[in-house]
Amino acid sequence: MSLPSETAIALPPAPPSSVAPRRSGWRPADTSPLAVLSAVRGSSVATELRAEEINAWFGDHKVLDRVSLTMPTGQVSALIGPSGCGKSTFLRILNRMHELVPAASMSGRVMLGDQDIYAADQRVTSARRRIGMVFQKPNPFPAMSIYENAISALDLTGVRADRVVKDFLVEDSLRKASLWEEVRHRLHQPAGGLSGGQQQRLCIARAMAISPDVLLMDEPCSALDPTSTRRVEDTIGELRGQVTIVIVTHNMQQAARVSDRCAFFLAAQGQPGVIVEQGPTDDMFGSPRDQRTRDYVEGRFG
């Protein structure tokens, strides 16, 4: 089951001030559990993400050339294209992970709502908090339990929450990732003991626990078996509407199944990657305008 909205949840009577932000300057004025929850979890509304004129380099090597893409509120956008055309690079620019690579640089703007996340007054940590990410290889923290993994973002960003709020967040995020039923009886066992597919859904739960506005996924199913892949796809379906999703995939059926919109990336030999065509998934697969798109989605090259 998925929980429709926060207000529908009955929490036990309010402990006074259950959440105290450690570093960040804010403190919820209203300290009832619901207000506290929404303070922890931010605005919790899906938001439009818009990349404008993105260029990217690794050292002198240019890998993206003036890429612009709008990822509409609450929809699933798929990025497709052959290997090495810059999909991962583009995705990592969307939540400022690109700059972790030494010698990597970029230009352009990434607008989250009406805010440029690269603006000088924006903190890189708050951009990453609002734009979550799931990686190709499941990467839960193996030394932590499932429970601790699910709410690791609170600890990592210096938000202190009490037991009631934590319990709620763990259940809520694990439900969102369709993992709750499988792990509810072993929450305190190490996350390393889960199967690959479960680990990947735990990573989705971990990202969802702080209610990001956007969720980025880089080939989230490529390390998984068909059943786990199905579960993750179902999870994406459940999250549609609650959060704006951007997914990179090499699997055309998957792109067709899960996405509302699609963007086809291509890099000509020795050239930086560009978006050849983008639009609603049905159009991209049914009646592509560009011959290269048609060839690619029909599996004829790439």
Ligand X SMILES: Nc1ncnc2c1ncn2[C@@H]1O[C@H](COP(=O)(O)OP(=O)(O)OP(=O)(O)O)[C@@H](O)[C@H]1O
Binding site for ligand X (CB under 6 A): 58, 63, 83-89, 101
Three-class secondary structure of residue 96 per DSSP: coil
Amino acid identity of residue 179, one-letter, is L
Angle at 32 between CA 29 and CA 33, to 5 degrees: 120
Q: What's the rounded Cα separation, in Å, for the pair 146 and 209?
A: 13
Strand partners of residue 261:
77, 280
**Binding partner of 83, given Mg ion, other proteins, ligand X, none, CB within 5-8 angstroms per partner class:** ligand X
Question: From the list ligand X, other proteins, Mg ion, none, which binds 155 (C-beta under 5 to 8 Å, kind-based)?
Answer: other proteins
Residue 129 binds other proteins (CB under 8 A): yes
Size of the site for other proteins (CB under 8 A): 36
Among ligand X, Mg ion, other proteins, none, the one that 32 touches (CB under a kind-dependent 5 to 8 A) is: none
Residues 6+ apart with CB under 8 A from 53: 66, 67, 68, 107, 108, 109
Q: Record the tokens describing residue 84, joined without a space.
A: 């090495």
| CB-nearer residue toward Mg ion: 88 or 259 | 88
Q: What token pair was written down for 69?
A: 């893409």
Alpha carbon distance 166, 224 (integer Å) = 29
Does residue number 228 form part of the binding site for Mg ion (CB under 5 A)?
Answer: no
Closest-CB residue for ligand X? Answer: 88
Nearer to ligand X, 44 or 105 (CB): 105
- Work out what residue 89 binds among Mg ion, ligand X, other proteins, none; the CB cut-off runs from 5 to 8 Å by kind: ligand X
Residue 88 touching Mg ion (CB under 5 A): yes
Tell me how far CA of residue 99 lies from CA of 52, 59, 96, 280, in angstroms. 17, 12, 6, 30
**34 is in the binding site of which of Mg ion, other proteins, ligand X, none (Cβ under 5 to 8 A by kind)?**
none
Tell me the C-alpha distance between 34 and 18, whole Å: 10
Q: Is 106 in the site for other proteins (CB under 8 A)?
A: no
Residues found near other proteins in the complex (CB under 8 A): 95, 97, 100, 102, 125-129, 132-133, 135, 137-144, 152-153, 155-158, 191-192, 195-196, 199, 203, 206-207, 210, 223
